[in-house]
Chain A
Amino acid sequence: MRDLRPILLVEDSPKDAELTLAALARCQLLNEVVHVRDGAEALDYLRSEGEFADTRHGGPVVVLLDLKLPKVNGLEVLEEVRKDERLRSTPIVMLTSSREEQDLLRSYKLGVNAFVVKPVDFKEFFEAIQGLGVFWGITNQPPPRAPEGERE
């Protein structure tokens, strides 16, 4: 069964965002892709706060989270989400340019679901994004959200 909740893309670089969106578009997913540009916006969206106070959604089907972000960085967003009772089970995929082991280790310690180093080769990049889209958008059924989290 398809989950049509949106995919949240957290990416500050417009170029990376455009390329990621292009890759996702090629997957021909039905899910809406919501794009925010920093960690603070991402948390606002997830908690339906700030400029997203009026937004009603069942939480994203997956968060594609860039590691290096202005204001609140990816690791901090991840940490906040895992601490938050209502958001805890949101699937998060860390997208990063970094091949640094320390980032990988910290991400897994904080409970990331997947960690993807953005490949230079667009074909690989495309395949990676497509894989994620397909895995989280179509075939995967995220755990049911706690009732108090239901806002729809």
Chain B
Amino acid sequence: MPSVSSPAPRELDLSGCASEPIHTPGAIQPYGLLLVVNPRDLLVTARAIPPSLDDLDDPLDAPIDLAFGGVLRACQGTIAAISTDQSVYLGLFELSAHGLFHGLAHRHGDVLLIELEMSVSGEPASLEELYPTIRQFMLSLEKADSVEELCAMGAAQVSELTGFDRTLVYQFDAAWNGAVIAESRNDVLPSYMDLRFPESDIPAQARELYRKNRIRLIADSTYERVPLVRGPSANGHAPTDLSAATLRSVSPVHLQYMKNMGTGASMSVSLVHDGKLWGLISCHNEAPKQVPYHVRTTCEFIGQILALQIAQKERGAKVEERVSRRAAQMHLLGRMTGDGDFVEALKRDEDHLLALTRATGAAIIRREDCVLLGDCPSEEKVRELAQWISAKKDGGDTYDTDQLTTVWAEAGDIAGVASGLLAISISQLHDSYLIWFRPEVVRTVRWGGDPRKEPTDGTLSPRKSFEIWKETVRGRSIPWDDIDRDAAMELRVAIVDIVLRNAEELAEVNEQLVRTNKELEAFSYSVSHDLRAPFRHIVGYSELLTSSARDRLSETEQRFIDTIVESAKSAGTLVDDLLSFSQLGRSSLGKMNVAMNTLVDDVRMSLDMEHQGREVTWLVENLPTVRVDPAMMRQVWQNLIANALKFTRHARVTEIAIGHLQDEHENVFWIKDNGCGFDMRYVDKLFGVFQRLHHVEDFEGTGIGLANVHRIVTRHGGRVWAEGKPDVGATFYFSLPR
């Protein structure tokens, strides 16, 4: 039996742990012996033999086939043939009175390591004996539904095979903190289930060894290191790399850690997938414990199967998740292509929009629009947030965080609904965003010891306390993963596509409009030239005829010619009116401040001349100054006042009043007469082109005047309307926005 006394306490520096050369410890654990052999001449260049075996001949500098009475002679050929980075099981060897030893050979670079590891009484004689167990285990894994269940099965299987007091499955997170997700144990050691361990417990260098060496046993945490003694031929060489050796001595810090934890033996099986360390199966025993070689090999195998199954489960879960996101995405795309406006489309499909990124709220900010769906902060806060994102994003199209309150000082009290935020920019030109929110999830993390605690004396002590330390984590949401980000990005691509397509369609419509407008202009231009000419000719030639044949024409003949002239003239007026109406729609507005009273007086004067001899009582209120196109507004008054004068022709005393009303939105002008009025049943026809409510014989006109008024007022952003009663009078109103 190796000595059980503690290793000489050394001053330990924890911070040095990460830089300690743990692959070249220059010593081994005492449950076997190690020979370092030169692969070229097969001479032993160094050896580590524990005190319990020191009655054996020292093989240093001897050829391997002569060591220990020549037990290795039979496999000398095998040893010589090992290629680099290969490990080979050599079989069982009997070393005189010390019993049977498992022989292992590893080649690493220029060094061959040969280990002879003590067998354990009652151990399985071969791997075959363990095969049924492995087979059973593999079959049972198929029934597992989740990663946690797989890990529980793995822990139970290793526990059964090895008999450790406590077997854990330990999973690393992105920051290499570990969490215990499965456990199988008896009552000797306390439960570590759900506990977290900080990254520093297994530093990078140790993780790298775990990744390379899939299994590791420390049979007795109080073991005495067996130093590696090098022969003269090894002088001047670099320290021997013992990474591959199962007997490799471990860091004193780790041994202290084990003792602090109350464990006398430990075994770790690495769970590696795609070259990455996913986690560990970690076994602890209160008392020292030797695990036979074949059992260890089986555990290593179980670890590999478990790692593969975990990877497959995780991949399957991811695929499933992506499929479900894809379904949400398809719904949204369907909506968006069916609807001209993507914001409207997304608004109508809140459920899928939230399901797309597993969010509980979403906000769409597009210029003045701000649409809030589900659980969101206030609109004001969302707008502030959009500005903050806009200022901070460095050219990227997405931004996400699972702790908004830590990164945004202004977050204030919105942590409840918006601890998590995932934003995509949806326009290159404007600060437009689609933002998803996740609520705060207050979690209680149970650490295996307080990870914040610094050793007070600055020396020794890895962790002394494994007291459970509860930390309440606030202001965090469930973090966003690649699936969330990808789904958001894909939606962004779709939106940008749709926005672009809409813009293109709009440009096309615009182009068509411009073309149509040009055609219309060309049309009315040629109408104005060519349509008027024939009427002019009719009138001209009729006049010529009249003047040359005046004496010969009867009264009736003269009346015929007069009618021809009259008809041609009125057709000419019609063309002119129609053209000016179409010009009203085309010419641009030249707005300036116009005093309405001046305009009204001006028009009144010009019309008064035509109506001399009529008694007209004018009542014109004070009218405001408004911002309008003066020429067009003049036409409005011209038409309205001329109408008032025209339709009051038969009144005994004509009364025309002009006035004004206003509210906060608009100025309303009105003109009221006591003329023949009109029937309100036909009020809708008043402002149509060529619509007349009176017979031409009674009142002349082409019926375009009020259509012009309507067009001009509408172009100024206002409205027109009228009230009337037959034989009582009419009031016309028009409004102009203020």
Binding site for B on A (CB under 8 A): 13, 15-16, 19, 22, 67-68, 96-101, 118-123, 125-126
B541 close to A (CB within 8 Å): yes
B447 close to A (CB within 8 Å): no
- Chain B contacts for A67, CB-based, 8 A: 529
Known contacts A120-B535, A120-B568: A99-B576 contact under CB 8 Å: yes
- Chain A contacts for B131, CB-based, 8 A: none
Q: How many residues of B contact A (CB 8 A)?
A: 25
What are 14 A-B contacts with C-beta separation under 8 Å? Answer: A15-B541, A16-B536, A19-B540, A67-B529, A96-B529, A99-B528, A99-B576, A99-B579, A118-B532, A120-B539, A120-B573, A121-B569, A121-B572, A123-B543
Known contacts A16-B533, A125-B536: A100-B587 contact under CB 8 Å: no
- Chain B contacts for A121, CB-based, 8 A: 539, 569, 572
- Chain A contacts for B580, CB-based, 8 A: 99
Nearest neighbor of B532 in chain A, beta-carbon distance: A97
Known contacts A19-B541, A22-B544, A99-B579: A120-B529 contact under CB 8 Å: no
- B511-548 CB mask vs A (1 if < 8 Å, else 0) is 00000000000000100111011011101111110000
Q: Is the CB of A125 within 8 A of B540?
A: yes
Q: Is the CB of B530 within 8 A of A97?
A: yes
- Chain B contacts for A120, CB-based, 8 A: 532, 535-536, 539, 568-569, 572-573, 576
Known: A15-B537, A101-B583, A122-B544. 4 other contacts (CB 8 A): A15-B540, A100-B525, A118-B536, A120-B569
A97 is contacted by which of B528, B541, B542, B543 (Cβ under 8 Å)? B528
- Chain A contacts for B540, CB-based, 8 A: 15, 19, 22, 122, 125
Q: How far is the CB of B667 from chain A (nearest CB, A)?
A: 29
In the bound complex, CA of A97 to CA of B540 (Å): 14
Q: Is the CB of A122 within 8 A of B539?
A: yes
- Chain B contacts for A101, CB-based, 8 A: 583, 587
Q: Is the CB of B541 within 8 A of A100?
A: no
What 4 pairs between A and B have smallest CB-CB spacing? Answer: A120-B572, A122-B543, A19-B540, A122-B540
- Chain B contacts for A100, CB-based, 8 A: 525, 528
In the bound complex, CA of A126 to CA of B544 (Å): 11
Known contacts A22-B544, A122-B540, A122-B543: A98-B533 contact under CB 8 Å: no
Q: How far is the CB of B360 from chain A (nearest CB, A)?
A: 62
- Chain A contacts for B528, CB-based, 8 A: 97-100
Instruction: Give the number of A-B contacts (CB < 8 Å).
Output: 61
Q: How far is the CB of A130 from chain B (nearest CB, A)?
A: 14
Nearest neighbor of B534 in chain A, beta-carbon distance: A15
In the bound complex, CA of A100 to CA of B524 (Å): 9
Q: Is the CB of B587 within 8 A of A13?
A: no
Nearest neighbor of B542 in chain A, beta-carbon distance: A122
Q: Is the CB of B573 within 8 A of A97?
A: no
Nearest neighbor of A103 in chain B, beta-carbon distance: B525
Nearest neighbor of A13 in chain B, beta-carbon distance: B533
Considering the complex, which residues of chain B in the window 561-611 have a beta carbon less than 8 Å from any beta carbon of chain A? 565, 568-569, 572-573, 576, 579-580, 583, 587
In the bound complex, CA of A122 to CA of B579 (Å): 21
Q: Is the CB of A97 within 8 A of B529?
A: yes
Nearest neighbor of B531 in chain A, beta-carbon distance: A97
- Chain A contacts for B544, CB-based, 8 A: 19, 22, 122
Q: Is the CB of A97 within 8 A of B536?
A: yes
Nearest neighbor of A123 in chain B, beta-carbon distance: B543
- Chain B contacts for A99, CB-based, 8 A: 528, 576, 579-580
In the bound complex, CA of A101 to CA of B586 (Å): 12
- Chain A contacts for B537, CB-based, 8 A: 15-16, 19
Q: Is the CB of B587 within 8 A of A98?
A: no
Q: How far is the CB of A116 from chain B (nearest CB, A)?
A: 13
Considering the complex, which residues of chain B in the window 89-138 have a beta carbon less than 8 Å from any beta carbon of chain A? none
Q: How far is the CB of A125 from chain B (nearest CB, A)?
A: 7
Q: How far is the CB of B607 from chain A (nearest CB, A)?
A: 20
Q: How far is the CB of A78 from chain B (nearest CB, A)?
A: 17
Considering the complex, which residues of chain B in the window 414-455 have a beta carbon less than 8 Å from any beta carbon of chain A? none
Nearest neighbor of B573 in chain A, beta-carbon distance: A120
Q: How far is the CB of B589 from chain A (nearest CB, A)?
A: 14
- Chain B contacts for A13, CB-based, 8 A: 533
Nearest neighbor of B576 in chain A, beta-carbon distance: A99
In the bound complex, CA of A126 to CA of B543 (Å): 10
Nearest neighbor of A26 in chain B, beta-carbon distance: B547
In the bound complex, CA of A126 to CA of B541 (Å): 12
- B36-59 CB mask vs A (1 if < 8 Å, else 0) is 000000000000000000000000
Nearest neighbor of B543 in chain A, beta-carbon distance: A122
A98 is contacted by which of B529, B535, B542, B568 (Cβ under 8 Å)? B529
In the bound complex, CA of A122 to CA of B537 (Å): 8
- Chain B contacts for A19, CB-based, 8 A: 536-537, 540-541, 544
Q: How far is the CB of A28 from chain B (nearest CB, A)?
A: 15
Identify which of A16, A99, A120 gathers the most chain B CB atoms within 10 Å of its CB: A120
- Chain A contacts for B573, CB-based, 8 A: 120
Q: How far is the CB of A102 from chain B (nearest CB, A)?
A: 8
Nearest neighbor of B533 in chain A, beta-carbon distance: A97
Q: How far is the CB of A69 from chain B (nearest CB, A)?
A: 11
In the bound complex, CA of A67 to CA of B572 (Å): 19
Q: How far is the CB of B414 from chain A (nearest CB, A)?
A: 60
